[in-house]
Structure 1
Amino acid sequence: MNSLDIAPEHPALDDGIDSAKRRQILEGARQVFLAEGFDGASMGEIAKAAGVSKGTLYVYFSSKEALFEALTVEEKRGLAEVMFRIDADDPDVRNVLTQLGTSYLSHMGNPEHISSVRMVIGAANKLPQLGQVFYEAGPCRGIARLKSYFDHQVEAGRLDIEDTSIAAQHFLDLCQSGVMRRLLFAVGTRPTEEEIKKNVANALRVFFAAYGPKTGASRS
């Protein structure tokens, strides 16, 4: 059974009620997974935190793995939607990347996000498909959106990039340089506004040195 489906032996519920109940369960699961980790969490604890019976929990999710997968996909997709709202036709590349880099680093440094990353890393060795789901739902979607923006800017002559997918990865890695590593190891606190501003400015400097337009190349 697909992890996002309702068990077939139970009658379908009203869409609105069903959606609300599913969100209620996912919120309870998020609390338990963050507090206990994947291995330490149990379906009983999740049902209690969500305020539902174990029977109701299993109507929506067939296993702890299915629930974790659904939570991962929903949270990472939501994060990608928030961080990667990019107007493909916006010609001000520096401003677009400044806003994106600031939003990206702010969200990546959120303590709950760091806890989620640690949790997935801890579970990935035993359940590698969960690591893949996490990666595809978040980083891959963000890189794809940024790649699409770069494709437009290369076509307009505002950037000079041979592989826009690699360039998208480069920019995001430059933004989080030094920050994510220390946070994953619980060294220091989340980045300050000043630190974020400095990281993004440095990322832009290196990015445009590598991928900036050739003199007179812009066709805007």
Structure 2
Amino acid sequence: MTQAATILRTGRKFDQVLRGAREVFMADGFEGASVDDIARAAGVSKATLYSYFPDKRLLFTEVAQNECRLMSENILSMIDETKPAREVLMVAATQLVAFLVSDFAQQVFRICVAERDRFPELGKAFYEAGPQNGQRQMSEYLIKAVAKGELAVEDVNIAAEQFSELCKVRLWGRAAFGIQNSFSQGEIDEVATQAVDMFMARYGV
């Protein structure tokens, strides 16, 4: 990436482009999203949009990565690592379950699957920014919890993946297959609690 591109990424219109693109991708999907509609939603010219993102795939990738980053920052801001492991994991699980069944996460997942063969880089980018990044951060926390004697984990990477999968129980599949489109906080809390209970039963000290 050139220095000029790096500077452009911090501009006010860059944020407008991301907001507009998010709105259009959510409404029309990747294939149905037109550059004209994105520029209109963002309140910028097509020339401005192309100056940031010459390719729609790059724009979608940036939107997905930005959303995952915001979600990750939100979870980290809510976590107090001085608290007992169960409390920390409950915060992480509750936020993760809510994100997994959110309209945005589900739409991005569908787009990545639909475009997998033609544009495998889309799925790769979302996986790296979302699941892989989340599991890396969970692994880092687990190392600290093990050092404090709160958890007994031999392979923190496997354990981090297991934690993520436990947070998908029941609700994620229903969302992915369109069986259920909205989820109450009670449903989210129940899945998060069950995930943490199972995780602590295996790794708790």
**Greater mean deviation of Cα atoms: 161-170 or 99-108:** 99-108
Aligned AA (2:51): V
Q: TM-score, normalised by structure 1?
A: 0.84
Contact persistence 1:3–1:66 (CA under 8 A): no
Instruction: Specify the code of the residue in structure 2 equivalent to 1:128.
Output: P
Which structure 2 residues correspond to residues 57-206 of structure 1 after superposition, within 5 A? Answer: 57-85=49-77, 86-88=79-81, 90-206=82-198
Identity of aligned residues (%): 35
The 2-side partners of 1:118 and 1:165 are apart by 26
Distance 1:199 1:124, change over 3 A: same
Could you tell me how far 1:26 is from its partner in structure 2?
A: 1.1
Q: Distance in 2 between matches of 1:78 and 1:5?
A: 24
Cα distance change of structure 1 residues 189 and 46 upon mapping to structure 2, 3 Å threshold = closer
Contact 2:75 2:91 in 1 (8 A): no
Q: 2:112 and 2:126 mapped to 1: Cα distance?
A: 7
Query: CA–CA distance in 2 between the matches of 1:126 and 1:6?
Result: 26
Unaligned runs of 5+ in 1: 214-220
Q: Which string of whole-angstrom CA distances, capped at 9 and with x for unpartnered residues, describes residues 64-98 of structure 1?
A: 1121121121111111111244444x250011111
Structure-2-length-normalised TM-score: 0.90
Higher radius of gyration, 1 or 2? 1
| Inter-partner Cα distance in structure 2 for 1:110 and 1:22 | 24
The one-letter amino acid of 2:89's match is: L
Tell me how far apart the structure 1 counterparts of residues 131 and 45 of structure 2 sit (CA, whole Å): 34
Residue 18 of structure 2: aligned partner: 26
How many residue pairs align between the two structures?
Answer: 204
- Residue 84 of structure 1 contacts residue 145 of structure 1 at CA under 8 Å; is this kept in 2? no
Q: CA RMSD in A?
A: 2.2
Which one-letter code corresponds to 1:58 in the other structure?
Y
1: CA distance between counterparts of 2:5 and 2:146? 45
**Deviation per residue, 1:38-83 (Å, 9 max, x gap):** 1122212211221211111111111111211211211111111112
Task: Confirm or deny: 8 A CA contact 2:53 2:59 kept in the other structure.
Answer: yes
Q: Which amino acid aligns with 1:96?
A: V
User: Paired residue for 2:31?
Assistant: 39
CA deviations on 1:147-205 (whole Å, 9 max, x unpaired) are 11110111222111111111111112112212111101111233222222221222122
Conserved in 2, the CA contact under 8 Å of 1:161 and 1:211? yes
User: In 2, are the aligned partners of 1:102 and 1:200 still within 8 Å (CA)?
Assistant: yes
Structure 2 unmatched runs, 5+: none
